[in-house]
Amino acid sequence: MTSDVSADGKHRFWMLDLLRGASAILVLIYHSSSAFPVAYAAVDLFFMLSGFVLAERYGESLLKAGGRRDFISHRIARLYPVYLVCTLLGAVSVFPLIGHLENWSRSAFAVSSVASLLMLPAPSDTVLGILPLNGPAWSLFFEVVANAVFLFTAARFRPAVSIVALSAPAFIVALWYFRYPPGSVWGDIVGGFPRVLASFYGGVLISCLWRRGFRIRLAAWPAWILVAALAALYSGFVLTERKYYLLLTFAAHPMIMWFGLCLARNARFERIATWMGEISYPLYLVHVPLLILLATYGVGDCFALRNYLGLGNTSWGGECHRDATPLVVFLLPLSLLTAHLIAISIQSPGRKLWLRWRPI
């Protein structure tokens, strides 16, 4: 979710940008409506995209002198400015929920604030997740874990094969043993480690095969077929939920990604894809704080908030009405606009400022 879709400073793999943006939108719709009930699997696609892009960009330079320092500095510049802004907005959104949620008190909020600034799981066990100020940020913690492992393995083929071979079975076991899908709350946090490593290093493996010439040439127009296929795959279950989720993670995601890599360049498509890639990360992190703020104060259908938090008929900020306008109608345009503003005012300037300062 958090990688520059570039291996050489240009948007070479434009389709990956398009996939990231489309997936972020599907996650937003999943959180705020009953549509796309399998869109939570997009997180695994984000991990896979990240593994591929980081392998392409840093695979050869990482083990050279100064390579690890350069990698750490660029990852902080990429991840933290947007994360910090969206976490502060998240703090504003979840503060009014104090006293309404189990284990969510002023002291829990204070401790969570400190932990969140460090991008670490907070000790408060609430329905808000391991990073309570911004629920989707749980995946950022695991992204950092995968990046830390990548520091030492780089994009070497054998370590990638070994990690996938070990983490994939552990991930499958976690699906049946822990809360499903694992990683977002304390009750199943252990399952998040094999989950991220299986998909992240799956992306690294695709990079290894790509560099070895495992590719074909396709026209650019099938890009929209791939996006439509992703939306269709996230719209319902074909098998039982766990089996279908595994099919997405280990078969559908790699296939869609590989076909996307094979698409020819197209200037018009690339302009759209570049914008979607730029807003995908802020969109992913900003939409839940906005969802909570809108639903808490009675904008649209506040059942979306109850569904997101798993609270059943618990409510605050007024009564919910079944005939209210679906919250996604308000949330989607507001989140797209906010993500665009964050991308141009925080993401790009913050990255440049950090890299110019380079304290690490």
What percentage of the chain exceeds 90 in pLDDT? 68
pLDDT band at 249 (very low <50, low <70, confident <90, very high): very high
**250 found inside a domain:** yes
Is the residue at 323 inside a domain?
A: yes
Instruction: For residue range 302-344, list pLDDT tens digits in order.
Output: 667 776 776 655 444 455 555 567 888 899 999 999 999 999 9
Comparing 229 with 34, the larger pLDDT belongs to 229
Q: Are residues 125 and 79 in contact, defined by beta-carbon separation less than 8 angstroms?
A: no
Q: pTM of the full predicted structure?
A: 0.92
Q: Are 327 and 291 in contact (CB under 8 A)?
A: yes
Q: How many domains does the chain have?
A: 1
* DSSP 8-class letter at 125: -
180 membership: H or E segment, kind and range: none
- 86's enclosing H/E stretch is helix 67-94
pLDDT at 84 over 60: yes
Q: Which residues contact 350 (CB under 8 A, 6 or more apart)?
A: 77, 80, 81, 82
Query: Is 183 within the bounds of a domain?
Result: yes
Who contacts 72 (Cβ-Cβ below 8 Å, separation ≥6)? 151, 360
CB 310 within 8 A of CB 127: yes
Question: Which domain does 177 fall in, by range?
Answer: 14-351
**pLDDT digit string, tens, across residues 168-226:** 999 999 998 886 789 999 989 999 999 999 999 999 999 999 999 998 899 999 999 99
Residue 112 counted as domain residue: yes
Residues whose CB falls within 8 Å of the CB of residue 42, separated by 6 or more in sequence, listed in order:
23, 24, 26, 27, 234
pLDDT greater than 60 at residue 268: yes
Higher pLDDT, 282 or 217: 282
Asked if the structure places residue 318 within a domain, the reply is yes
Residue 5 domain-assigned (yes or no): no
In a domain, 1, yes or no: no
Which tens digit of pLDDT belongs to each residue from 44-63? 999 999 999 999 999 888 98
pLDDT value for 6: 45
Q: Closest Cα partner for 146 from 13, 46, 70?
A: 46
357 domain-assigned = no
